[in-house]
Amino acid sequence: MTDEISRITRRRGLMLAAALTSTALLAAAAALPAAAQDAYPSRPVTVVVPQAPAGTNDIIARVLADKLGDVLGQARFVVENRPGAGGNIGTASAARATPDGYTLLVTISSTQAINPALYAKLGFDPVKDFEPISLLATVPNVLVAHPSLPADTLPELIALAKAQAADPIQYASAGNGTLNHLLGEMLKSRAGIPLTHVPYRGVGPAINDMVAGHVKLGFASMPSVMSHLQGKVLKPLAMSSATRSPAAPDIPAIAETLPGFAADLWVALFAPKGTPPAIRDRLHAATLKAMADPGVQEKLKAQGATIVTSTPDELARRLDADITSWAEVVKAAGARIE
């Protein structure tokens, strides 16, 4: 009888030990994701830029990526350009990435807010597929002209366009449906002037042809043409912002001639939907610290960008509002890409 009791006691002890071991293993497994998040980032992070190199988005993304690596101090942030289809190709690839914080998206308002109204097949949902992290900057677009164009101000351009209505002035853009295309259409409509759109595959080729004088007019973001303005290779006629930009106070706002005309480009940081809150919060805090760095501010100010950060909720609200407002502009312009 004593032996039987002893065997039962040993059996129960073994079962208890097994249960405790199992519980400990489960607890350890559950702690792994949290530990991984605490260690984030432990390997290089890819920052997708869905536009070609040398544009506004690329410039800001590279400055941010360099500083995020310093702020987090654990891994490199590597910018990867994936241009095409007005930013849709790179944005869709970021939307499909594993939501672990190792693929991020630095994009512009034209891709996230204009493309939904412009493209029949987008390939991503700008709201449902992404976690907003923070706004990074706003950038005015500049209406620039080749020096040979006989107009140095917006009123002079309007008068010239009306005088040669039979031979409309051509204006370049980074492609059909891009922000600088729609700004050109807005200018035509508001000023009541004829202009002919010449789309290019990216802002770089468009600017190159403007510099060469093949097309003598166009909208371009301030960072992408700053060096050309400083070198007087192109001349500025007006800004797309509602008021003059602190980065270039001598350039008039279009609204000074055409009241109510205003459309800035914004640049923002997103992560794929489902990225863990702890990683999102860490990225947000690191981004605010990076953008507040005097060196970062100096670099971006020199490019004509105004640093504007936000909470994730503020970015989400701005995106929602811009999707609605740009849908109206696209509809009025009659633009559509199948």
What is the span of the domain harbouring residue 162?
A: 141-256
Same domain, 273 and 132: yes
Alpha helix (H) residue ranges in 164-200? 179-191
Convert 252-276 to b/e letters by CB count within 10 Å (16 or more is b): bbbbebbeebbbbbbbbbbbbeebb
Count the domains in the chain.
2
Q: Specify burial of residue 14 (Cβ count, 10 A radius: 0-12, 13-18, 19+).
A: exposed
Q: What is the mean pLDDT of the chain?
A: 88
pLDDT at 75 (0 to 100) = 75
The whole-angstrom separation of Cα 259 and Cα 249 is: 18
Flag whether 237 is in a domain. Answer: yes
Residue 300 lies in a domain: yes
Q: Could you tell me if 147 and 203 lie in one domain?
A: yes
pLDDT at 100: 97
Joined together, the tokens standing for residue 83 give: 């241009």
| Res. 175 pLDDT band, cuts 50 70 90 | confident
Q: Residue 142 and residue 219: Cα distance in Å, rounded?
A: 5
Q: Greater confidence, 13 or 98?
A: 98
Give the predicted TM-score (pTM) of the model.
0.77
Please check whether residues 273 and 245 belong to one and the same domain. no
Residue 58's domain is classified under what CATH number? 3.40.190.150
338 pLDDT band, cuts 50/70/90, is confident
Residue 38 pLDDT level (bands cut at 50, 70, 90): low
Q: Give the domain-ending residue among 222, 256, 290.
A: 256
CATH of the domain at 220: 3.40.190.10
What pLDDT sits at residue 12? 54
Q: Is residue 229 part of a domain?
A: yes
How far, CA to CA in Å, does 139 sit from each of 65, 108, 216, 247, 305?
18, 10, 22, 10, 5
Amino acid at 186: M
* pLDDT digits 0-9 by tens, 103-142: 999 999 989 999 999 998 899 999 999 999 999 999 889 9
Predicted local distance difference test score (pLDDT) of residue 61: 97
> Based on the domain organization, do 178 and 122 belong to the same domain?
no
Query: Per-residue pLDDT tens for 292-310?
Result: 999 999 999 888 888 999 9
